[in-house]
Amino acid sequence: MRACIDPGHGGGDTGALTADGRMEKDTNLRVALMVEQELRGSGIEVMLTRRDDRDISLSERCRMANRWRADVFVSLHADAAGGTSAKGHHAIHSIHSQPGKGGNKLARLLVDQVTLATGRQPFPRGDRGVWTRESQNHPGVDYYAVIRETDMSAVILERGFLTNPEDAALLFDDSFLQKQARGIARAIMIYFGVKIEEVAVGMFKDIAGHWAQGNIEHLAQIGIVRGREDGTFAPDAPITRAEAAVILDRAIAYILGEVQKMIRGAA
Ligand SMILES: [Zn+2]
Q: Identify the domain boundary among 140, 163, 192.
A: 192
CA 97 to ligand 1 centroid distance, Å: 22
Residues 125 and 71 in one domain: yes
What does the pLDDT average to over 57-74?
A: 97
Cβ-contact 165, 84 below 8 angstroms = yes
What does the pLDDT average to over 215-226?
A: 83
Q: Identify the domain boundary among 160, 192, 224.
A: 192
Residues 124 and 240 in one domain: no
Residues 132 and 184 in one domain: yes
pLDDT of residue 262: 81
Confidence of residue 202 (pLDDT cuts 50, 70, 90): very low
Residues 66 and 101 in one domain: yes
CA 8 to ligand 1 centroid distance, Å: 5
CA distance 130 to 106: 10
> What are the beta bridge partners of residue 91?
130, 157
CATH code for position 10? 3.40.630.40
The bridge status of strand 198-199 relative to strand 227-228 is antiparallel
Residues 118 and 237 in one domain: no
CA distance 149 to 133: 14
pLDDT tens across 234-250, in order? 999 999 999 999 999 99
Position 198 in a domain: no
CA distance 263 to 111: 35
Percentage of the chain exceeding pLDDT 70 = 97
CA 204 to ligand 1 centroid distance, Å: 35
Count of domains forming the chain: 2
Residues 115 and 224 in one domain: no
DSSP code of 104? H
Does the pLDDT at position 229 exceed 70? yes
Residues 55 and 94 in one domain: yes
Position 200 in a domain: no
Residues 138 and 218 in one domain: no
Position 186 in a domain: yes
pLDDT of residue 267: 65
CA distance 139 to 143: 9
CA 5 to ligand 1 centroid distance, Å: 14
Cβ-contact 198, 38 below 8 angstroms = no
**CA separation (Å) from 120 to 127, 141, 160, 233?**
16, 32, 10, 24
The bridge status of strand 153-161 relative to strand 90-93 is antiparallel
Residues 63 and 150 in one domain: yes
Q: Identify the domain boundary among 192, 225, 242.
A: 192
Residues 135 and 62 in one domain: yes
Position 134 in a domain: yes
Please, what is the angle between helix 241-266 and helix 24-38, to 10°? 150
Position 141 in a domain: yes
CA 223 to ligand 1 centroid distance, Å: 26
CA 255 to ligand 1 centroid distance, Å: 29
Cβ-contact 5, 76 below 8 angstroms = yes
Task: Give 76's Cβ-side CA count (13 Å radius).
Answer: 32
Q: What is the mean pLDDT of the chain?
A: 92
Does the pLDDT at position 199 exceed 50? no
pLDDT tens across 109-167, in order? 999 999 999 989 999 999 999 999 999 999 999 999 999 999 999 999 999 999 999 99
Residues 145 and 228 in one domain: no
Cβ-contact 223, 249 below 8 angstroms = no
Cβ-contact 122, 115 below 8 angstroms = yes
CA 23 to ligand 1 centroid distance, Å: 10
- Round the CA-based radius of gyration of the chain to a whole number and report it: 19
CA 32 to ligand 1 centroid distance, Å: 13
- Residue predicted with more confidence, 215 or 199: 215
CA 251 to ligand 1 centroid distance, Å: 31
pLDDT of residue 59: 97
**CA separation (Å) from 93 to 98, 128, 140, 155?**
10, 13, 14, 5
CA 157 to ligand 1 centroid distance, Å: 9
Q: Where are the beta strands (DSSP E) in the chain?
A: 2-7, 45-48, 72-79, 90-93, 130-131, 153-161, 198-199, 227-228
**CA separation (Å) from 88 to 61, 131, 202?**
25, 14, 20
- Domain limits for position 12: 2-192
CA 159 to ligand 1 centroid distance, Å: 10
CA distance 247 to 241: 10
CA 9 to ligand 1 centroid distance, Å: 6
Does the pLDDT at position 264 exceed 80? no
pLDDT of residue 236: 93
